[in-house]
Structure 1
Amino acid sequence: MTIDIDGRTIGPGHAPYIIAELSANHNGNIDTALKIIEEAKKAGADAIKLQTYRPDTITLDSDLPDFQIMEGLWEGRTLYELYEWAHTPWEWHQALFDHARKLGITIFSSPFDNTAVDFLEELGAPAYKIASFEAVDLSLIEYVAKTGKPMIISTGMADADEIQEAIDAAQGAGCKQLAILHCVSGYPAPAEDYNLRTITDMVERFGLVTGLSDHTIDNTTAITSVALGASLIEKHFTLDRNGGGPDDSFSLEPAELTALCRDSKTAWHALGKVDYGRKSSEQGNVQFRRSLYFVKNLKAGELITKDSVRSVRPGYGLPPKHLADIIGRRVTSDVSIHSAVTENVIN
């Protein structure tokens, strides 16, 4: 149960794959977008992800109530105004792809209609992400699947039946490498909404590489998800959380992304495997475990009594579990107080 993106294997048994979501955090400046890619690479992210749409490919230019945003971060705008503000110009994409490839960081995108898929195919996108809001657009999923590229579907707002429908659409249209992301489509989302145990259920229920799209404002939720089976982690990324852009306020800054890349891998390494054996870092401390020591001088042939032996540190004598066995036995030679109890001095 793995997928491969741009030569990197993703799934159980492999370190978490970290995706830095550029989204709208360029704030209309291509130099900012290029800098975000550079900082994502420096932080240790495996991939940078774009969003590929134009306002007219994602919504209608209407100010009717259906198209107005009445609350939240973007209150007071129409959908068209929001996406005009937030979109990444298509004429930037080639430069962004070229820059990422030069730096050695994987770059791919979320397409929002078929024309975006066609455009990204021309750019040689190595994978595709289906955004949570598009997880119910089965025809888009099918169109992406026909590219033959790996696909990641985010599941925010989707119930179990809708997730299964999206999976069926992808696989039915030929997708052979599919991953899903547990997600809460709140911006930001409170940690308590994430119910991370769902990840374990998703792995068992759907049998796919599973990860987390995290909209909380720190790294705790994302790092915790690794212990529950998350193989991918996606977080929005910005140069400055106070930059004033559409997504800045719930995005990680460079130092935080660096910490996520480091700490998620530490969490994965710490999980390891079932192992009751003595670890390499413990070897030097075995001598400090408890063992049996004489607390009296005894002559050869003398009886060992309860008050002549104690369980103490260090660990050069017999293990404490043998205490009852040696009480009532005799020493074979003279023993000195504070010497270790060993087999060769006991009859």
Structure 2
Amino acid sequence: MKIGIREIGGGQPAYIIAEMSANHAGDISRAKEIIHAAKEAGADCIKIQTYTPDTLTIDCDNSYFHISDGTWNGENLYQLYQKAYTPWEWQKELFEEAKKAEIDFFSTPFDNTSVDFLEEIGIGFYKIASFELVDIPLIEYVASTGKPMILSTGMATLAEIDEAVEAVKKQGNHNFALLRCASAYPAITDEMNLRTMQNMGDTFGVPYGLSDHSMGSVGAVTAVALGASIIEKHFCLDRSIENPDSTFSMNPMEFKQMVHDIRQAERAIGSVKYGPSEQEKNNLQFRRSIFCVKDIQEGEKLTEENIRIIRPGYGLAPKFYKDVLGQTALEDIQKGTPLAFEMIGK
């Protein structure tokens, strides 16, 4: 996958997305501050969401539209989205702020009108949220822009993911990635099932990653160790600033530590390389080798009593031990001398 000039996939550093979502808490100044804080914390990208309560649902108060458990227990959908949405009149301004901060910026659209709006302001790529993965008409409309796409797959069956992937491909768009996601807020580690993420990559032949709603960075770092090319994490300035997403978002210090840990994990993963590393080379001397452990006179035979395999590693390699037993010293050899072929003969 390619976003702008950035290659995303095997062998490339993980692309790390800071999801602002509702963490601006209705204040555009705070939204701008989040953009700069995310850049400072090491994010490659800041993401927002483009919807209004009316593009997501209807203003209805019957039981179908009430949340009865979880983080938003007791909320009405319409009222929740009123609290959480990012005003559209902010979004071009936030896009420009991201350019100033030199951080990528993109959004999750939730209907065709939001796609049209984002096209007007020049958004370069798109995200499909897990809950919209079954909205095939929306996916087709986004894919028809020809721009890169990231699709979250929380709750999705393999068949549903396949339908979404085919919807993208039918529009001639092959520049996309899939994210494993546990659509719970917060998600628990026991239900992340990160091996599914690898299987998605193998099944569909595209870059994969993790949209992580769990607390802490264990999930994100583990995902990178399993080959994730993209990590998305909710980002806030301070969880004490109450909003619908604050309880499961990372603050700047936590996010920065996560980025550091991911980059360290990538260095540790490295590449396939046998033989001593640069750091190990000085320790080759402490391997075992064949040494003379008693004084040996010229003409005397080598025996198990006068030569041994010991540390350090300056003598003949241990694999020659049986070959040199019984051979004759061609010179006087002092105890503590590393054995060499030129010292002995048959």
Shift of 1:190: 0.6
308-317 vs 266-275, which moves further: 266-275
Residues paired across the two proteins, number: 345
CA contact (8 A) 1:6 1:106 kept: no
- Residue 243 of structure 1: how far off its partner (Å): 2.3
Q: CA deviation at 1:274?
A: 2.2
Deviations along 1:218-276, one digit per CA (max 9) or x if unpaired, are 11111111122211011111111232211111111112211222222222232223222
Gaps of 5+ in 2: none
1:50 Cα deviation (Å)? 0.3
- CA deviation vs aligned residue, 1:279-303 (integer Å, no higher than 9, x gap): 2221111112111111100110111
For residue 152 of structure 1, give the secondary structure of its aligned residue in structure 2. strand
CA displacement 1:61-118 (0-9 Å, x = unmatched): 0110000011111111100010000001111111110110011100000001111111
Question: 1:215 and 1:324 mapped to 2: Cα distance?
Answer: 61
Match of 1:300 in 2: 298
3-state SS, counterpart of residue 45 of structure 1 = coil
Q: Is the 8 A contact 1:135 1:163 kept in 2?
A: yes
Cα distance in 2 for partners of 1:292, 1:255 equals: 54
**Structure 2 residue corresponding to 1:238, chosen from 236, 239, 247:** 236
Q: Tell whether 2:199 aligns with 1:201.
A: yes
2:94 maps to 1:96: yes
Residue 146 of structure 1, CA deviation:
1.1
Match of 1:323 in 2: 321
**What amino acid maps onto 1:210 in structure 2?**
Y
Say whether the 8 Å CA contact 1:297–1:337 is kept in structure 2.
yes
Sequence identity, in percent? 51
Task: Map residues 231-270 of structure 1 onto 2, 5 A cutoff.
Answer: 231-270=229-268
Q: Which runs of 4+ in 1 moved over 6 A?
A: none
Could you tell me which of 26, 30, 33 is aligned with 2:31?
Answer: 33
Query: 1:186·1:215 contact (CA, 8 Å) conserved in 2?
Result: yes
Q: Is the 8 A contact 1:94 1:123 kept in 2?
A: yes
Query: Matches of 2:14 and 2:206 in 1, distance apart?
Result: 15
- In structure 1, what is the equivalent of residue 41 of structure 2? 43
Q: State the Cα distance separating 1:164 from its structure 2 match.
A: 0.3
Match of 2:147 in 1: 149
> In the alignment, does 2:50 pair up with 1:68?
no
The one-letter amino acid of 1:46's match is D
1:26-48, CA deviations, whole angstroms, 9 ceiling, x for partnerless residues?
A: 11111111111101101111100
Match of 1:168 among 166, 175, 178: 166
1:213 aligns with 2:211: yes
- Show the counterpart of 2:115: 117
Alignment of 1:70-89 (within 5 A): 70-89=68-87
Question: How far apart in 1 are the matches of 2:3 and 2:258?
Answer: 20
Q: Distance in 1 between matches of 2:239 and 2:310?
A: 56
Aligned to 2:335: 337
Q: Give runs of aligned pairs for residues 15-30 of structure 1, distance below 5 A.
A: 15-30=13-28
Amino acid aligned to 1:63? D
1:141 is aligned with what amino acid?
Answer: I
User: Which residue identity does 1:184 align to in structure 2?
Assistant: A
In structure 1, what is the equivalent of residue 57 of structure 2? Answer: 59
Aligned partner letter, 2:22 = A
**Aligned Cα root-mean-square deviation (Å):** 1.1
Please report how far the alpha carbon of residue 165 of structure 1 lies from its aligned counterpart in structure 2 after TM superposition: 0.3
Of 308, 311, 323, which residue of structure 2 is paired with 1:310? 308
- Aligned residue number for residue 130 of structure 2: 132
Q: Distance in 1 between matches of 2:275 and 2:200?
A: 32
AA in 2 matched with 1:247: D
Distance 1:334 1:199 in 2: 66
Post-superposition Cα deviations, 1:121-140, rounded to whole Å, max 9, x if no partner, equal 11111100000000000000
Whole-Å separation in 2 of the counterparts to 1:129 and 1:49: 9
Does the 8 A contact of 1:154 with 1:180 survive in 2?
yes
The whole-number CA distance in structure 2 between the counterparts of 1:96 and 1:237 is 15
Amino acid at match of 2:88: W
Distance of 1:77 and 1:186 partners within structure 2: 16
